């Protein structure tokens, strides 16, 4: 008997009607002779609403209490999905992350899964039940409820699929697969039949929120095949796996957009060894991820250092950098919110010259200014004005004829 893990995102469990649709799909999969474990997100915009409630109390709530609050969203969905399955005549049992055996490490709001001890889930499946597991949460070594970061239910599903040695992990969402670019930004984006783990990991890390980056990492590590598809119909979606069979090494497979960026600039930083290390160590120790970094040419023994961080880390970063600016003797700390990152991704880029030039040409032709550039073997990212992101996505998409 094959084991199948199905994960349903917020929109897919957004109402009682949709929860019944989910239950029917699960019932159909079980009736075809499979053991089914289901992972669910919080209903609709619940997580955002809970966050907004907390912010009404205080701007920076204690992380422990925020994790406690956010984890309730998924707990509502598991109970309702288990009830809907029961109403359809199936045997179902819900589990919170800690009950399902999700052991986490790291910070309360950006915890990582250290282990998935899935004995209770396995026993439920063996007893002929559908297991319904809360995504996005687990318990820390000292028994606290921790959450896995926004979008983290995908990672719960993949880790469960690995623990159960599932045949496939199906990610049901509100789009019918992974597209060359967010179909909400470019209406003529194309759906990909397949994509490799490495390309998907870059897309996800660079802002294509259709999959949580750690879910892709975990899938690659354990060889879990992902099928990203719509919860609204039965059409095939996109397979994420080791080697995509189509033209294997496309120079550009897709585009990722991230409007969730803030640019920070330290002006007039004394040009001394160790200064950059001090800045980025302080930022790193606070758990803030730094993205694009540039240092300007030296002038009069001084440099300017620019980098980007995520919007949600902004308050924390300013609190650290304000005193540090004085300590290292830099002249000014500046920031800019209305910036966005656009990236092109493709494993075939390694073997093809000129991809960067084409990307810049596409942006130039559309009259879009590039502020910072960063490249790796399979991606090129540019920082641009946030209000030009849709134009940029269209221009690049059309230039590369994706």
Interface with Mg ion (CB under 5 A): 9, 151
Nearest distance from C-beta of residue 154 to Mg ion, angstroms: 6
Least spacing, CB of residue 211 vs Mg ion, in Å:
7
150 binds, among ligand ASP, ligand ADP, Mg ion, none (CB under 5 to 8 A by kind): ligand ASP
- 3 state SS of 261: strand
Q: Which residue, judged by CB position, is nearest to Mg ion in the bound state?
A: 151
**Please, where are the H alpha helices in 206-274?**
213-222
The only residue of 9, 138, 152, 213 in contact with ligand ADP, by rule CB under 6 A: 9
Helix (H) or strand (E) holding 384: strand 379-385
CA distance 314 to 337: 9
Q: Is 42 in the site for ligand ASP (CB under 6 A)?
A: yes
Q: Is 88 exposed, middle or buried (0-12, 13-18, 19+ CB in 10 A)?
A: middle
- Collapse the DSSP code of 356 into the 3-class scheme (helix H, G, I; strand E, B; otherwise coil) and give the result: helix
Burial annotation 227-252 (CB, 10 A radius, 16+ → b, else e): bbbbbeeeeebbbbbeebeeeebbbb
Question: In the 8-state DSSP scheme, what is residue 96?
Answer: -
Inter-residue contact 259 to 386 (CB < 8 Å): yes
CB of 137 to ligand ASP, least distance (A): 9
φ, ψ of residue 199 in degrees (nearest 5): -65, -40
Q: Smaller CB distance to ligand ADP: residue 102 or 157?
A: 157
Q: Is the dihedral of CA 225, 230, 234, 237 positive or negative?
A: negative
Helices 275-285 & 314-327 angle (0-180, nearest 10): 150
Task: Give the single-character DSSP code of 352.
Answer: -
Among 3, 11, 21, 73, binds ligand ASP (CB under 6 A): 73
Nearer CB in complex with ligand ASP: 34/47: 47
Comparing CA positions, the residue from 131, 158, 140 lying closest to residue 98 is 140
Nearest CB to ligand ASP, comparing residues 11 and 34 = 11
293-295 and 302-310 as β-strands: parallel, antiparallel, unpaired?
A: antiparallel
For residues 108 and 151, which CB has a smaller minimum distance to Mg ion in the complex? 151
Contact partner at residue 184 from Mg ion, ligand ASP, ligand ADP, none, CB < 5 to 8 Å by partner kind: ligand ADP
Give the per-residue contact string, 150-169, with ligand ADP (x = CB under 6 A; - = no).
-x------------------
Nearer to ligand ADP, 41 or 71 (CB): 41
Query: Could you say which of Mg ion, ligand ADP, ligand ASP, none residue 97 binds, taking C-beta under 5 to 8 angstroms by partner kind?
Result: none
> Which does residue 156 touch among Mg ion, ligand ADP, ligand ASP, none (CB within 5 to 8 A, set by kind)?
none
Q: Distance between CA 251 and CA 234 in Å, rounded?
A: 31
- Name the minimum Å distance from CB 200 to ligand ASP: 16
- Shortest reach from residue 218's CB to Mg ion, in Å: 15
Residues 206 to 235 in contact with ligand ADP, rule: CB under 6 A: 208-210
Identity of the residue, 98 or 151, whose beta carbon is nearer to Mg ion in the bound complex: 151
Q: Check binding of 5 to ligand ASP (CB under 6 A).
A: no
Distance CA 84, CA 76 (A): 13
Cα–Cα distance between 373 and 356 in angstroms, integer? 10
Give the torsion sign (CA, 201, 202, 206, 207): negative
Sign of CA dihedral 235, 241, 247, 250: positive
The option from ligand ADP, ligand ASP, Mg ion, none interacting with 400 (CB < 5 to 8 A, set by class) reads none
**Is residue 108 at the binding interface for ligand ASP, with CB under 6 A as the rule?**
no
Q: Which is nearer to ligand ASP, 47 or 325 (CB)?
A: 47
Rg (C-alpha) for the chain, rounded Å, is: 22
Is the distance from CB of 110 to CB of 149 less than 8 angstroms?
A: yes
- By CB under 6 A, is residue 149 in contact with ligand ADP? no
Q: Kindly state whether residue 47 participates in binding ligand ASP, applying the rule CB under 6 A.
A: yes
Q: Is residue 136 part of the contact set for ligand ASP (CB under 6 A)?
A: yes
Interacting residue ranges for ligand ADP, rule: CB under 6 A: 9-12, 41, 151, 173-175, 178-179, 181-184, 208-210, 254
Interacting residue ranges for ligand ASP, rule: CB under 6 A: 9-10, 41-42, 47, 73, 135-136, 150-154
């Amino acid at each position: 008997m094959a084991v199948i893990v199905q994960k349903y995102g917020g929109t897919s469990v957004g109402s009682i009607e949709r929860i019944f649709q989910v239950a029917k799909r699960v019932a159909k999969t079980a009736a075809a002779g499979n053991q089914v474990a289901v992972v669910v997100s919080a209903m609709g915009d619940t997580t955002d609403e809970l966050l907004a409630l907390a912010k009404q109390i205080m701007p920076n709530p204690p992380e422990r209490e925020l994790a406690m609050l956010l984890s309730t969203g998924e707990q509502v969905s598991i109970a309702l999905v288990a009830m809907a399955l029961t109403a359809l005549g199936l045997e179902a049992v819900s589990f919170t992350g800690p009950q399902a055996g999700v052991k986490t490490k790291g910070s309360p709001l950006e915890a990582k899964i250290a282990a998935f001890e899935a004995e209770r889930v396995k026993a439920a499946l063996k007893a002929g039940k559908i297991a319904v597991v809360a995504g996005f949460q687990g318990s820390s070594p000292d028994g606290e409820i921790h959450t896995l970061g926004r979008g983290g239910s995908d990672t719960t599903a993949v880790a469960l699929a690995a623990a159960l040695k599932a045949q496939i992990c199906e990610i049901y969402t509100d789009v019918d697969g992974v597209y060359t670019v967010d179909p909400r930004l470019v209406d003529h984006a194309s759906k990909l039949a397949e994509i490799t783990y490495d390309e998907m990991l870059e897309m996800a890390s660079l802002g294509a929120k259709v999959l949580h980056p750690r879910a892709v990492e975990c899938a690659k590590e354990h060889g879990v095949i992902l099928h990203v598809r719509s919860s609204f119909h039965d059409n095939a979606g996109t397979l994420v796996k080791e080697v995509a069979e189509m033209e294997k090494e496309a120079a550009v497979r897709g585009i990722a957009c991230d409007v969730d960026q803030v640019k920070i600039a330290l002006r007039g930083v004394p040009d001394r060894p160790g200064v950059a290390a001090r800045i980025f160590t302080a930022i790193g120790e606070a758990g803030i991820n730094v993205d694009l970094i540039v240092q300007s040419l030296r002038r009069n023994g001084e440099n300017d250092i620019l980098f980007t961080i995520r919007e949600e880390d902004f308050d924390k970063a300013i609190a650290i950098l304000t005193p540090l600016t004085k300590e290292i003797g830099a002249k000014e700390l500046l920031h800019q919110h209305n910036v966005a990152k656009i990236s092109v991704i493709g494993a075939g880029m390694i073997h093809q010259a000129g991809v960067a030039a084409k990307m810049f040409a596409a942006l130039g032709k559309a009259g879009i200014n590039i502020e910072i550039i960063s490249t790796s073997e399979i991606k090129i990212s540019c920082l641009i004005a946030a209000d030009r992101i849709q134009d940029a996505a269209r221009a690049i998409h059309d230039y590369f004829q994706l």
